[in-house]
Amino acid sequence: MITFEQALDIINHIPVATQIEEVRLEDAVGRILANDVFSDVEMPPFNKAAVDGYACRRADLPGPLEVVEIIPAGVVPEVVLAQGHCSKIMTGAMVPEGADTIIMVEYTEVDHNGSVVFNRDKTSTNIAWQAEDVKEGQMVLQKSTLLKPHHIAILAAVGVAEPSVFKRPIIGVISTGDELVEPDVKPRPGQIRNSNAHQLIAQAKAMGLDSVYLGIAADTPESIELMMEKGFNQCDILLLTGGVSMGDFDHVPAVLEKIGVKVLFKSIAVQPGRPTVFGVRENRFLFGLPGNPVSSYVQFELLVKQLAFRLMGYSYKPMVVKLPMAADFTRKKGERKSFMPVRINAEGKIEPLEYHGSAHIHAYEGSDGIMAVEIGETKIASGEYRNVRQLQ
C-alpha cells in the first residue's frame, strides 16, 4: 500500500505521449493550446478613436474649432489637421494625422458659425494608440493555455482561424459484476443498478472528453479479458469499476497480469478508494476503481482527471479554497487519509456532510467540495482553517 501523495506522484511523472490536431476556432474553447501564438499585426493597428467626438490638437482647446471632415469607422482620413481645425469622428475610426486628442461630443457646443467649442476644463486623450496593446511579433498566448472565450477573441484578432490543440484522450468504461443491471432494468433480489459506469461517463463528459461505454463484464476471467482488450484497442484511458479487491471472484488482477499490463500501484492508503489499481500497457493507461460509487467518483476527481489533463498537455491544478470549520469534527480511526464531502455554509464555513462509507451514493448530493483529513488525524477543531477542493 502506498500513500495518496505517492500515487499522485506516479500519475504526474509517468511518461505520456501527446498528440496534436487543428480545430475550427468555434470549436476551440475548452481545448489546450499546443503551441505559442504570436501576433501578425499590431493592436490596435492604427491610432483609434475610443469615443464619439471631435479629433483635434489639444493646444487649440477650447476652440472654436472648424469641422473639416467627418470620419466614420473603417474609413482612412483624408485631411491632416491644421491649427484651429477638427474632424468629427466615430468610435473605432482612424485618428487623423495632426490630432492628439479627441473631445467627447457631449462635452462640446456648436456656435452660430457651426464651429465646435469645448465646454470642460480638461479631457483625456481618448485615443487608443497604435500597438499600445500588442506589438507585431509579440507572443499573445502560451502553449498549454486552457482556451477560454476571451482567448478565442485573441486568436481571431491575430489571424489564427484553426488553432493547434492537444488531442483529447478517449475514456473507456467497463463495469464488472454479475450483480449489475442497467438503469432501465428493475433489479431482482441480489441485483443492483449499474450507477458507477454512468457516473464516470458523466465525469468524463464534464471535462469535454469522449467516452466509450463497453458494458458490464461477467465475473469470469474470459469475459473481463475480452472486454479489456476491446477497451485498450479503442481508448487511451480504460476505467474498470469493481473486481479489484481480494474477493474470490475478483478476477481483474490476474487478467491484468495475463494481458501484459504493468501495474504501478494496487492499493492506496485513502478512504474512499483503497483498492485502486493503476497500470500501463503500450502508452494506454488503466485504472481499476472500487465498485462503490463514492470511491470511483472521488478517485476519478483526484487521479483520473490528473492523468487525462496530462495527456492533453495541461498541468491541472484544482480549485482550492481555505476556510474555517463550522464545528468540531472527529473520526474514530486515522490509519488512512480520508476525503470527506463537505458543504460551504452561508457564513463561508465548512460543514462535513453525513457520510456512511463508500457505498453511500447520496453523500455527495449538496456537496460543494472535498476536504482531506490526513493520516493520524482524528480531530479538527471548530474555527481551524482547512483546504476544500471545489467540485467543478
pLDDT 10s digits, 86-135:
999 999 999 999 999 999 988 888 888 889 998 877 778 999 999 999 99
Using CA atoms of 286, 289, 291, 297 in order, give the dihedral in degrees to the nearest 10. Answer: -120
Residue where a domain stops, chosen among 253, 286, 311: 311
Do 30 and 139 belong together in one domain?
yes
pLDDT at 244: 58
pLDDT at 357: 58
Positions in the chain whose pLDDT score sits under 50: 248-249
Q: What are phi and psi of 153, to 5 degrees?
A: -60, -40
Do 192 and 225 belong together in one domain?
yes
CB crowding 93-131: b at 16 or more within 10 Å, else e = bbbbebbebbbbeebbeeeeeeebebeeeebeebbbebb
Do 180 and 262 belong together in one domain?
yes
Do 355 and 260 belong together in one domain?
no
Do 351 and 380 belong together in one domain?
yes
Residue 246 to residues 31, 188, 206, 275, 290, Cα–Cα distance (Å)? 40, 26, 32, 9, 11
pLDDT at 195: 86
Bond prior to 15 in cis (omega within 30° of 0): no
Q: How many domains does the chain have?
A: 4
- Domain of residue 147, residue span: 24-43+134-166
The CA-CA-CA angle for residues 70, 72, 77, to 5°, reads: 65
Do 171 and 282 belong together in one domain?
yes
Do 117 and 175 belong together in one domain?
no
Do 183 and 95 belong together in one domain?
no
Residue where a domain stops, chosen among 69, 102, 128: 128
Do 114 and 76 belong together in one domain?
yes
Phi-psi region of 337 (alpha: psi -120 to 50; beta: other; left: phi over 0): beta
Residue where a domain stops, chosen among 128, 157, 176: 128
Do 100 and 205 belong together in one domain?
no
Do 265 and 194 belong together in one domain?
yes
Do 272 and 230 belong together in one domain?
yes
Please give the model's pTM, rounded to 2 decimal places.
0.82
